[in-house]
A and B are shown apart, each in its own frame.
Chain A
Amino acid sequence: MLVSSLSYAQNVPSEHEEIQQLVQQINALQERVRVLESLKSDNPTSSVDGTAQTVSSPTVQTAQTDAPPGPIPEALHELHGIQWRGYGEADYKVLNQRTPELGTNGFVPGSSGSFYTGDFDLLLTARISDKASVLSEIDFGERDAQKFEVDLGRILLKYDYNDHLRMSFGRYQTGIGYYNTAFHHGSWLQTTADRPLIMEFADDGGLLPTQAVGLSLTGTIPSGKLGLNYIAEYGSSDTVRPELNGNVVEDENNGNHVNVGLFARPDSIPGLQIGGSIYHDQISDFARGPSVRLGQTIVNGHIVYVRHGIEFLNEGFLIRHVYEQTSTVFNMPAFYSQISKQFGRVRPFFRYQYINANPSSLFEDVNLRYGPSFGARYDFNDFIAFKAQLDQSLRKGQPDLDALHFQLAFTF
């Protein structure tokens, strides 16, 4: 009896397993039929075309045969043509003041709360060959009076020579630190409802040159278990930055920049990334004179851990402005720290950010500001997330700015 019980348990799958297997087989067969039908409709003369025959005929062979199968349609595994993916959001934000700040997108002056759609983002990718591909990101951003601006966020021709040398030509997001390389316009990808102010896009009032046109190289450095990677960029960021109060738009008139970075992803702690970068260019300060130029150096250091449902992001910055022909130097530190943990569908988060910009510098509108944000993200499914976030910003010389932000972020 023991033997028979043992034998039965080993040989007969449970009803649930059996149903699962059958469902999987049906799905596989349906997929094969779909592929065959698409091939037939694409090429009705396949029976007289030798190439098409070699592609289509093996698809009918069963997976159970022991002989090695011939070539199967690449449509089964490969993605051809242009791949689209969209990211959108709908927001509602309430402030404790009636004056707008660009960091609070779409805010209507005179009102303490407003709805806005933020960024609607289309990501297009296409593979040209095994090593070459194209990526473009088209962003529709809401501006005043529900007008939308179209921005080509990224357009990149990418060529991956090998793991040590991966090249991108075109418009990219500068590799200053971690956040700007990990998160782009699509709010659905990020845990919080907005970006930390130091990492805000320059055209939304952010301090850093977040986008540039040029050449970007990245890859791994042979370093054993240390897992070193590099990033090197040369291009022009040519940033036009509106002040946070929206009254003045500053054209920084950037010269070409150089940005180099190094980061480690040690084998011993999967999910950990430690690194830094140094960015340098020259910009204008038109407020001081039409020909006043200054050297801008941005140093970043970051420690990030993202694994097992935990997201722990920490980045520090030092923005150094050195005016030519004078001895004026501004050193402006900033940092943010963000932690979150997934519990089922809910991910509570906490963020603290700090920026200490010199009031005599280009960032006089930012000045000293710091404060916490906390809230939660709820994922309805793999495509829709709802976020609720409470912010407090303490500002030097101005009243505290409090905000309640709701966001419905989605991808499709």
Chain B
Amino acid sequence: MRTKLIVGWVAIFLAVLAGLSSAAAQTGRVAVVVNEKNPVNNLSSSDLRKLFAGEKHAWAGGVPVKIFVRAPGANERVVVLKLLGMSETEYKRYWAGQVYRGDAQAEPVGLFSNGMQREAVVLYPGAVALVSVQDVKLGMKVVKVDGHLPAEAGYPF
């Protein structure tokens, strides 16, 4: 009887743990979004890194790239830092350097919500941002990364 009780509690604990990790995995998924008018459909991980590092200044058609990121603390911000291989401090210092060298006018604006990111992506033809999958809305175009959409196997984020 006692053994069954213990097994039961362990099962419940594992189930809750599985549920939590499943929820975390769902909220962790981020999509790469651009303006609807942007003809790009697929980006390589390398292209994406160059975009968010400010090394790529214009899209193929010549439209200037506008990078939008979430403010510190957001999951999308963590993904950007992981993509660039930087800590938050290194990221700040990196962008200060980019501005100092004249390679960028300012550090990308850190937006406080995905709603604001959505507005920015709709407003700017050259916009690119990372947005949680559940926050992808009308007006945003989801771009494949290395040929994969967020729900597909092989998607990097």
Name A's B-contacting residues (CB within 8 A). 1-2, 5-10, 20, 24-25, 27-28, 31, 62-64, 66-69, 71-72, 74, 76-77, 79, 83, 85, 123, 125, 127, 130-131, 133, 135, 154, 156, 158, 160, 162-163, 166, 168, 181-184, 186, 188-189, 225, 265, 267, 270-271, 307-309, 342, 345, 379, 382, 411
Contact = CB atoms under 8 A, between A and B. Distances in A.
A8 B19 CA distance: 8
Interface in B20-65: 20, 22-23, 26, 44, 46, 49, 55-58, 62, 64
Interface residues of B, number: 56
Nearest to B137: A66
8 contacts: A28-B112, A76-B120, A156-B102, A308-B86, A309-B90, A342-B89, A345-B89, A379-B89
B105 A125 contact: yes
B124 A77 contact: yes
A63 B119 contact: yes
Given A24-B74, A163-B58, A270-B49, A63 B19 contact: no
A297 B19 CA distance: 66
A183 to B, nearest CB: 8
Contact of A2 (B11, B20, B123, B139): B11
B7 interface: no
A60 to B, nearest CB: 12
Interface string B59-90: 00010101010010110000000001111011
Contacts of B105: 79, 83, 125, 127, 133
A25 B114 CA distance: 10
Contact of B100 (A184, A267, A382): A184
Contacts of B118: 63, 69
Contact of B16 (A9, A127, A162, A181): A9
Contacts of B49: 270
Contacts of A265: 55
Task: Name, among A77, A166, A225, the residue most crowded by chain B CB atoms within 10 Å (CB to CB).
Answer: A77
B125 to A, nearest CB: 10
B15 to A, nearest CB: 5
B4 interface: no
Contacts of A20: 73
A382 B123 CA distance: 31
Nearest to B113: A28
B116 interface: yes
B23 A135 contact: no
A188 B97 CA distance: 10
A271 B64 CA distance: 23
A171 to B, nearest CB: 12
6 tightest A-B CB contacts, nearest first: A63-B115, A9-B19, A68-B139, A6-B19, A28-B112, A267-B46
B141 to A, nearest CB: 12
B20 A382 contact: no
Given A27-B112, A63-B115, A182-B97, 5 more contacts: A62-B115, A63-B113, A76-B109, A125-B102, A162-B62
B57 A182 contact: no
B133 interface: no
A127 B99 CA distance: 12
A69 B57 contact: no
Contact of B12 (A5, A10, A63, A183): A5
Contact of A6 (B15, B111, B113, B116): B15
Contact of B138 (A2, A24, A68): A68
B149 interface: no
A189 B99 CA distance: 11
B122 A24 contact: no
Contacts of B100: 85, 123, 184, 186, 189
Interface centre among B99, B100, B123, B138 (most CB of A within 10 A): B100
B101 interface: yes
B20 A270 contact: no
B96 A411 contact: yes
